[in-house]
Structure 1
Amino acid sequence: MPDAALRLDPLRAWRFVAGKVSALGAVTSPPYDVLEPALVRRLTDSDLHNMVRLILPRDPDLGSSRYDEPARRLIDWQRAGVVIQDSRPALYVYEQQFRGAVLCGLVGALVLDPERRVVLPHEDVMPQWVDDRFELMTATDADLEPILLAYGGGGAASDAVDAARSGPPWLVADTENGAHHRIWRIDDPEQLAMIAAELARHEALIADGHHRYAAYLERARREPDRPGSAVGLAMLVDNDRHPLTLDPIHRLVPGLSLDTVARRTPDSWEVLPGRVDGVPDRVAVSDGTSWVTLRSTAHRIEPTVSLLHKELLPAWGAPVDDVTFHHALADALALAGPSQAAVELVAPRLDQVLQSAVRGIVLPQKATSFGPKPRVGLLFRTLD
């Protein structure tokens, strides 16, 4: 296959041993960047081996040494047989069912693509979070959280995924949020070759995990000759066969008032009183009590989140570096006030995201929330 081919290689994944933990679901976690403090406390209390104890290092005042604790903990789990490594390389079919939504695809070792020819990012990243994930990967010598990629028209590879799901699963887990997870192995050489040939025909969009992917690239840049550094843990989904959802991520903007929005919004935007539904590509702003809705009158093709960061925040004089991000609008509204506004966004359309990625244009950080997201802790990889 050519160097620019999309490749997802088999790996010997690590997993928890059911008899060593309270339940396989009880040791898993959502990804690090969607964890609210209350959920972290519940997960930490659910089992001494929950993955939040690895993916969320505590005591930030300790600097880089704060990553030593999860590294030591992972070694202890390995030595105690709490986690074990699969005996043979495989691609893993992962299925998650949650409230009628199904996440289904292949988990393996993604060959990195620093030239952005076949693995296409669509969001900007925040350097501090790239550094955080890189430091954790370096300390633990592991990829603990798969990134999520989407492609279309998987053909034979998607047929292999669906065929595997017709047999008995290799691993089953139920998590506290009511989701049901199943995993199967594909290790037949002919099937793996067929999947590889099919994937080589495609490009893939990074749907979730831009900071982790940037950390993968940084690790490969620093240690190009180290075995295992040229790949990273990933889940690949055929979005035609098993579509992902696409949701917005809202903002909380310190120092912003509704009066400033009314006075300083550019003329190319119409300012409507209240929270107006049914307006395409709208931006709604609230101080926790009152609302205004903004509508662009210029009929531009860019996603609204791009226009927010390119036009509106600068016009308002908002401190962009202090903006915080919230998957749940209720979390942003709970913190809003007269001088701290919540900004509600609508999700970009998938065609907008794809067009931007193909053209090499990145959206602002935290522009999208693709889902469902793979659960952390069912499968992970190490660089041994």
Structure 2
Amino acid sequence: MNYAGPAEETPARSGLELTPFRGLRYDPDRVGSLAAVTSPPYDVVVRPDGLHHLESADPYNIVRLILPQDTTPTARNQQAADTLSRWLSEGVLAADSQPALYVYEQRDGAGLLQRGIIGALRLSEPSDGVVLPHEDVMPHVIADRAALMRATSANLEPLLLTYRGNGSGVGAASVVERTAQRPPLLSTTTEDGFSHRLWAVTEPADLAEIQTDLLHHQALIADGHHRWATYLRLRAEHPSPSPWDYGLVLLVDTARYPLRVRAIHRLLHGLPVADALAALADTFRVRHLDVPLPEALDALAAAASEGNAFLLAGDGAFHLVDRPSPDLLARTIPGGRPEAWRTLDATVLHATLLDHVWGIPEDSPAHIAYIHDTAATVDKAVRDGGTAVLMHPVHEEVVRDLARQGVTMPRKSTSFGPKPASGLVLRALAL
């Protein structure tokens, strides 16, 4: 990889600098199937059930690198490093012959189509206004991801970033669409019904067209705040220029391919539903719903259209919690923030319910888990005797507006998707 890539020729860097790299990819002749070695991003895998399922899908599943299992953090990270080294020496993973940007396509059976570009992005600080975070992060997760990246010297899965193109079909968009008409490097369909295709862009003219276009854009972090913060930490540890000045990302133009925004739910360990409800006293309205999950979510959506609302579960029923006391909110919601932030469901959940009503530390895995799958959150609450707090998704426009103001939302407030499958292309920093 050339650390003074083509975009470096522009004197003033004002936008996104995406650089080709030699992607690490599975040799399809060495694995059961490409679908069997992929995984959702590390923080979407439901543990332990989903982890065990992926480990048993194929001995070379990428989950063995992104979520290694051992008795201590040091042992886990060393295991990942040893596994990656072994797979490289055995030819299970191999580097492409020349640096490339990669066009990546995801398609489901319901008409959703998403295309983007995977590359090594030059890192920038939030103050630069080039890459905009919108969520707070947890220090222990950053420390965990940083230790794994140090041990493996690799970016094992891309972040998901979005930008707004001009919709004219020129520049990067033109290269993406032209490339997608060619035979792909790989094509596979994962068990969630999504088909995945990947192409390499290596022609100098195409690379220059993409890079020149992206220099005029900023990006929003849609998924991967902790990995972005990890990239920044590791860059600070290494003298520049170095491979650590860049991080693996997928860039999607949402003017052409709008993302879906979903909620991330909470599982409160050790807090039975009865206790959670009792603590609310007269500060929230509580309605008990004896209905299936889809109908309960419909009720949540209707309540969320009028104000803050949450759905509690874990005791075999659903409990719709809404209409918080204005006095309680005034006492517990921090001031000095935009009204759009103060009225977020995630803000009320963290500042009012977790901090004040229930007294649960939001950054302690022993007390709280963040789960993307709705049904899995409810099932785990039932099995564990805890409380599932189901959230309604926030609108993308709210996320972007707050990010442009430099205001971060509470951690794990949103889930943009579809997320890139992990395992289709990796970046080794030594190449």
TM-score of the pair, normalised by structure 2: 0.83
Partner SS state of residue 48, structure 1: coil
| Counterpart Cα distance in 2 of 1:290 and 1:177 | 27
| Counterpart Cα distance in 2 of 1:176 and 1:341 | 29
Which residue is equivalent to 1:292?
A: 320
2:16 equivalent to 1:24: no
- Give, as a single letter, the amino acid of the residue that structure 1 aligns with 2:135: E
Which residue is equivalent to 1:304?
A: 345
2:50 equivalent to 1:39: yes
Which residue is equivalent to 2:257?
A: 242
Which residue is equivalent to 1:70?
A: 80
| Counterpart Cα distance in 2 of 1:307 and 1:257 | 15
Residue 206 (structure 1) shift? 0.5
For structure 1, which segment, 71-80 or 172-181, has the greater mean C-alpha deviation from structure 2 after superposition? 172-181
Which residue is equivalent to 1:136?
A: 148
Whether the 8 Å CA contact 1:6–1:202 is kept in 2: the answer is yes
Whether the 8 Å CA contact 1:9–1:109 is kept in 2: the answer is yes
Report matched runs for 1:81-160 at 5 Å: 81-100=91-110, 101-116=112-127, 117-153=129-165, 155-160=170-175
CA RMSD of aligned residues (A): 2.2
**Among residues 184, 191, 194, which one is paired with 2:199 in the alignment?**
184
Which residue is equivalent to 1:375?
A: 421
Count of aligned residue pairs for this structure pair: 379
Which residue is equivalent to 2:225?
A: 210
Partner SS state of residue 376, structure 1: coil
Runs of 4+ in 1 over 6 A off after TM superposition: none
| Counterpart Cα distance in 2 of 1:306 and 1:135 | 30
Residue 166 (structure 1) shift? 1.2
Structure 1 residue runs of 5 or longer lacking an equivalent are none
| Counterpart Cα distance in 2 of 1:25 and 1:239 | 26
- Give, as a single letter, the amino acid of the residue that structure 1 aligns with 2:278: D
Residue 301 (structure 1) shift? 2.4
Which residue is equivalent to 1:5?
A: 15
- Give, as a single letter, the amino acid of the residue that structure 2 aligns with 1:328: D
| Counterpart Cα distance in 1 of 2:349 and 2:14 | 34
Whether the 8 Å CA contact 1:6–1:199 is kept in 2: the answer is yes
Residue 91 (structure 1) shift? 0.8
Residue 312 (structure 1) shift? 3.0
- Give, as a single letter, the amino acid of the residue that structure 2 aligns with 1:352: V
Residue 39 (structure 1) shift? 2.4
Identity %: 38
| Counterpart Cα distance in 2 of 1:332 and 1:377 | 25
| Counterpart Cα distance in 1 of 2:161 and 2:358 | 35
- Give, as a single letter, the amino acid of the residue that structure 1 aligns with 2:206: Q
Residue 328 (structure 1) shift? 2.1
| Counterpart Cα distance in 2 of 1:260 and 1:326 | 23
- Give, as a single letter, the amino acid of the residue that structure 2 aligns with 1:309: H
Structure 2 residue runs of 5 or longer lacking an equivalent are 1-9, 290-295, 330-338
Partner SS state of residue 18, structure 1: coil
Q: Deviations over 1:250-308 (max 9, x none)?
A: 11234352121233x3xxx6555545341215222335325132135879523211222
Whether the 8 Å CA contact 1:7–1:196 is kept in 2: the answer is yes
For structure 1, which segment, 374-383 or 332-341, has the greater mean C-alpha deviation from structure 2 after superposition? 332-341
- Give, as a single letter, the amino acid of the residue that structure 2 aligns with 1:14: L
Whether the 8 Å CA contact 2:276–2:358 is kept in 1: the answer is no
2:246 equivalent to 1:259: no
* Residues 1:62 and 1:285: Cα distance change in structure 2 (over 3 Å): closer
Q: Deviations over 1:125-163 (max 9, x none)?
A: 111111111111111110011000011125421121111
| Counterpart Cα distance in 1 of 2:325 and 2:276 | 22
